[in-house]
A and B are shown apart, each in its own frame.
Chain A
Amino acid sequence: MAGLTQLLNVARDALAAQSYGLNVTGQNISNASTPGYARRVALLQTQNLGTQSGGGVVAAGLQRVTNDFIERREFQATGTSSAATARDQTLASIEALFNDGGGTGLGSAMSDVFSSFSALAANPNDTTTREKVLAAVGTFSDRANDTANTIAQTKMDLTKQAQDTIDQVNQRAQEIAKLDMQIAQAAMQGDDASDLKDQRTQKILNMSGLINTHTFTDSSGSTVVQVAGTTIVDGQHARTLSLDMNADGSLKLLADQSGGGATEITQYLTGGKLGGIKEVRDKDLFDVSAQLNQFVFDVGTAINTQHAAGVGADGGTGRNLFDLGATSTNAARDVRVSVDVFAHPDRIAAASNVFSVPGGSDNAVLLSKLFESPIAVGNTRTAAQAYGDIVGSIGSTRASSQRDVDTQGAILQQVQNMHQSESGVSLDEEMVNLTKFQNAYQAASKMIGVADQLMQTLLNTVGR
C-alpha cells in the first residue's frame, strides 16, 4: 500500500515531468521562427515499478514531428521553383534587349538602314545623304554587336554562377556528411539529435534550391542524398561535383568517382538554381543567339548582294556594305561596316551602272525595296517580319517562364504549408501546452503540500 512517502515521490516525479514539458514548450516557442526547426512534443508516460503501477509520471524524451514524404516533396518543389526563378531572372534581362519601344533597339536600327536607302535614292549625289547611309549601317552593326555581346556576357556570368553554385553544393554535401556523422554519434550515446537533424534537413533544403535533390533512408538508417540522379552524400561520405564545358560551349556537370575520374551527369540535371542556369544558358540563350545571328546574316547578306551589284559615285562596283562571315555563326557579334566603304560615302552604290553615275538612283531604290522582300529565314520572311518573330519568340519564352515561376511558386507554397502544418510551431498550441504544464506543475506542488500537511498531522498525533 502506498504511503505518504510514495505520494511525495509521485509529486516529485510529476514536478520533473511537467517541468520537462515546460522546457519543451519553451524550446518550441523560442524556435517558432527558426528556419528548419521541427516542433517537438514532450513524451510523458506513466512510471512502472517492476510489474506494479507506481502511479507516477516520467518524461520519456521528446518527439521531433516530421513527415519524410512531405519533406521530400518540399525538396523537389524547392528545386523546381528555384530553377524557374533562376531562368526567369536571366530571361528578363535578355527580353529587355529586344524591347524596341524606345526606338533605340536593333529593330529600329534595321528600319533606319532601309530608310537611309530611300533617302539616298531621293538625293544620290549628296554626300550628307551618303554619310547617313553609312551611319545607319554602322548603327545597325553596333546594335547587333551590343546585343550579341550582352548575350555572350550573360552566358559568361551564368557560367560563373554555375561554378559558384556547384561550389555551394559541394560545401553543403560536406556539411551534411559531417552532420550525419554527428547524428550517428549522438544516437550511439543515446543523446537526442533533434537539433542536428533540423540542421541536416535545412542543409538538404538549401541544397535542393541549388540542384535537384532527392533523399531516402537506406537499410542501415542513414540518410542518402542524391543530386542530379547521383548519390552525393551516403552516410558520412560526400562526393564532389565539378563543371566542364562541351566543344559546343554548353555546360557539362561531372561527379567524381571513388576510383578516380568523373562521370557525366548533365542529363539528369533537371532542377535547382543550377538546372535553371543550364536551361537558360544552353537552350534559351542558344536559341536567341541563333535567331539573332540568322537575322543579321540574312539582312546583311541581302543588302550586300544588292549593293555589290551597284556602282558607287567613284565608279567602283562589287563592294559589300557589311563585313560578314560566310555563315551565320556569330554574325551578330562580328558584323561591321565593310572596309570597302568605311569612311568612303562616295562608294555607296546608289546607281546600277557606271554610266548613270553620279545621279543614278536605281540601285538605291532596289536596296530600299529589300525592306518588303522576303530576304530572311530562307527567303520566306521580310526583315521586319523576321525581327518581329524574334521579339515574339523571346516574349513567349519569357511569358512562359513567368507562368512557370508563378506555378512552381504556388506549388512550393502549398508544400511549405503542408510542411508547416505538420512540423511548424503553433504559438496558440504552445500557449495551451504552457498553461497545461504550468497547471500540472502547480497541482504537483500542491500534492507535496498536502502530503506535508498529512505528515505533520501524523507526526503531531504520534508525538503527543
Chain B
Amino acid sequence: MRITEQMRYDSVSNNLSQLSARQAKAAQESQTGLRVNLPSDDPIAAAELARVRASQGQIGARRGTITAVRGDAELAESSLQQASDLLATAKDLAMQGGNGALAASERAGLARQVKDLKDQLVAVANTQGTTGYLFGGSATQTRPFDNSGAFSGNDDDHVVDIGNSTPTAVNASGSRAFTAAAGGRDVFADLDALYTALNTNDTVGITATLSNLDVSRAQLTNAQAGMGITINKLDASDSVLAAVDQQTSTRKEEIGSADPAKAYATLVQLNNSLQQSATVSKNILDLAAFKQF
C-alpha cells in the first residue's frame, strides 16, 4: 500500500483526537466522581437514576411530613397527659370532699378548685399546634370546645402520606378523648357533676363521681396512649424511610458513580498514552524520507 503524507497526517490527527476525547471523558469522570454524566453514557443506568432520584425526592418529602406532624403529635400527647393529670387532681379533690368531717364551706372551696380544673381542661382541649386546634378533627380553625365543654368539632382524621399503603392518621380525636360521642364519658360533664356535688355539700353524689372520674381519666389515658402509638409509628416509618433513603443513595452510587481508583487509574493511563502518542506522532512526521534528501 502506498503511504502518503496526507495519510500520515490524518492518522496522527485521528489518533490524537480519539485519545483526547477518551482522556477528556476520563478526566470528567475523575473530577465529578460520576460515571453517568449524560443519558448516553449508560442509557439503562440513566433511566434508573431518573427513577431513583424521583423516589428519593418522595422519600425526602415523606420524612419532611413526619417531621412536620411529629411536633403536633407530641403536643397532643402531652396535652392529653395534662388532661389526665387534671382529672387525677379532680379525683383527689373528690376524695377530700367525700370526707364526712368536712364542713360545707370547705366543700364549696373544693368546688371552686374543680371549677378551675375544668377551665384548665377546656384550655387543654383547645390546644393549638402548627396546623390549628389539635382536638377539633378537620375543624382546625374553630375552637372545638366552648367554656362549658360542649364540643363543636368533628371526628375526622388528619391523614398524611408517610409511605404506608394506607393513609396514616396523626391526630387525636377530641370527641373520643373528651366527650361521650363514641360511647365513652363526657369528661367535662364528670367535672361538672363533681363541682355540683361539692357545691351542694352532697357527699353521696361526690362519692358517686369517683368511679366516673376514673373512667374519664382512663379514656384520656387511652387517647394519650393512642398518640404514643402514632408517634412510635411515625418514628418507625421515619427509620424505615431513612434506611430506604440510605439504600437508595447506595443504589444511586452503584449506578451512577465512578470507581474513584479506577477512574483515576484510567485517567493516568490515558494521560500517559496521550503523551506517548504525541511523541510517536512527532517521530512519524519527522521520519519522512524526503527530509533525508
Chain A interface (Cβ < 8 Å from any Cβ of B): 32-33, 95-96, 98-101, 103, 107-108, 110-112, 114-119, 121-126, 351, 355-362, 364-366, 368-369, 371-372, 383-385, 387-389, 391-396, 398-399, 402, 413, 416-417, 420-422, 424-431, 434-435
Given contacts A107-B53, A121-B65, A122-B69, whether A358 and B3 have CB atoms under 8 Å apart is no
Q: Is B138 an interface residue (CB 8 A)?
A: yes
Give the 7 A-B CB pairs with smallest separation, nearest first.
A395-B39, A392-B47, A395-B43, A115-B61, A359-B140, A111-B57, A384-B54
Interface residues on B, range: 35 or more
Q: Report how far A421 CA is from B61 CA in the complex, Å.
A: 65
- What residues of A have a CB within 8 angstroms of the CB of B58 in the complex? 111, 114-115, 118, 371-372
Contact A428 B290 (CB under 8 A): yes
With A383-B54, A425-B5 given, name 10 new contacts (CB 8 A): A117-B161, A119-B65, A121-B65, A124-B131, A124-B158, A356-B137, A359-B131, A368-B161, A395-B41, A431-B290
Given contacts A119-B61, A121-B160, A428-B289, whether A111 and B39 have CB atoms under 8 Å apart is no
Given contacts A118-B65, A359-B131, A395-B40, whether A125 and B290 have CB atoms under 8 Å apart is no
Question: Which of B5, B49, B57, B64 has the most chain A CB within a 10 Å cutoff?
Answer: B57
Contact A359 B65 (CB under 8 A): no
- What residues of A have a CB within 8 angstroms of the CB of B138 in the complex? 351, 355-361
Contact B61 A427 (CB under 8 A): no
Contact B61 A424 (CB under 8 A): no
Q: Report how far A117 CA is from B61 CA in the complex, Å.
A: 9
14 contacts between A and B (CB under 8 A): A118-B161, A121-B65, A359-B132, A359-B137, A388-B50, A392-B39, A392-B43, A393-B47, A395-B42, A399-B41, A416-B10, A417-B7, A421-B1, A431-B290
Given contacts A123-B130, A431-B290, whether A32 and B6 have CB atoms under 8 Å apart is yes
- What residues of A have a CB within 8 angstroms of the CB of B47 in the complex? 388-389, 391-393, 395
Q: Is B115 an interface residue (CB 8 A)?
A: no
Q: Report how far A126 CA is from B132 CA in the complex, Å.
A: 9
B window 30-63: CB within 8 A of A: 34, 36-44, 46-51, 53-55, 57-58, 60-62
Contact A360 B156 (CB under 8 A): yes
Contact B160 A359 (CB under 8 A): no
Chain B residue at minimum C-beta to C-beta distance from A372:
B58
Q: How far is the CB of A246 from chain B (nearest CB, A)?
A: 30
Q: How far is the CB of A116 from chain B (nearest CB, A)?
A: 8
Contact A426 B3 (CB under 8 A): yes
Q: How far is the CB of B174 from chain A (nearest CB, A)?
A: 12
Q: Is B98 an interface residue (CB 8 A)?
A: no
Contact A33 B6 (CB under 8 A): yes
Contact B54 A107 (CB under 8 A): yes
B window 130-154: CB within 8 A of A: 130-132, 136-141, 154
- What residues of A have a CB within 8 angstroms of the CB of B167 in the complex? 121, 362, 365-366, 369
- What residues of B have a CB within 8 angstroms of the CB of A399 in the complex? 40-41, 43
Given contacts A426-B5, A427-B5, whether A358 and B161 have CB atoms under 8 Å apart is no
Q: Report how far A425 CA is from B7 CA in the complex, Å.
A: 10
Q: Is B89 an interface residue (CB 8 A)?
A: no
Among candidates B54, B69, B158, B290, residue contacting A359 with C-beta atoms closer than 8 Å: B158
- What residues of B have a CB within 8 angstroms of the CB of A122 in the complex? 64-65, 68-69, 131, 160
Among candidates B4, B41, B159, residue contacting A365 with C-beta atoms closer than 8 Å: B159
Contact B159 A388 (CB under 8 A): no
Q: Is B14 an interface residue (CB 8 A)?
A: yes
Among candidates B60, B68, B289, residue contacting A123 with C-beta atoms closer than 8 Å: B68
B window 1-31: CB within 8 A of A: 1-7, 10, 14
- What residues of A have a CB within 8 angstroms of the CB of B95 in the complex? none
Q: Report how far A352 CA is from B112 CA in the complex, Å.
A: 45
Q: How far is the CB of A311 from chain B (nearest CB, A)?
A: 11
Chain A residue at minimum C-beta to C-beta distance from B42:
A395
Contact A420 B159 (CB under 8 A): no
Q: How far is the CB of A126 from chain B (nearest CB, A)?
A: 7
- What residues of A have a CB within 8 angstroms of the CB of B34 in the complex? 101
- What residues of A have a CB within 8 angstroms of the CB of B7 in the complex? 417, 420-421, 424
- What residues of A have a CB within 8 angstroms of the CB of B64 in the complex? 115, 118-119, 122
B223-239: CB near A (< 8 Å → 1, else 0) gives: 00000000000000000
Q: How far is the CB of B28 from chain A (nearest CB, A)?
A: 12
Q: Report how far A119 CA is from B6 CA in the complex, Å.
A: 66
- What residues of A have a CB within 8 angstroms of the CB of B156 in the complex? 355-356, 359-360
Question: Which of A125, A393, A428 has the most chain B CB within a 10 Å cutoff?
Answer: A428
Q: Is B242 an interface residue (CB 8 A)?
A: no
- What residues of A have a CB within 8 angstroms of the CB of B57 in the complex? 108, 111-112, 114-115
Q: Report how far A417 CA is from B2 CA in the complex, Å.
A: 9
Q: Report how far A125 CA is from B289 CA in the complex, Å.
A: 86
Contact A395 B10 (CB under 8 A): no
Q: Report how far A425 CA is from B4 CA in the complex, Å.
A: 6
Among candidates B4, B42, B49, B140, residue contacting A358 with C-beta atoms closer than 8 Å: B140
Given contacts A118-B61, A119-B65, whether A384 and B55 have CB atoms under 8 Å apart is yes
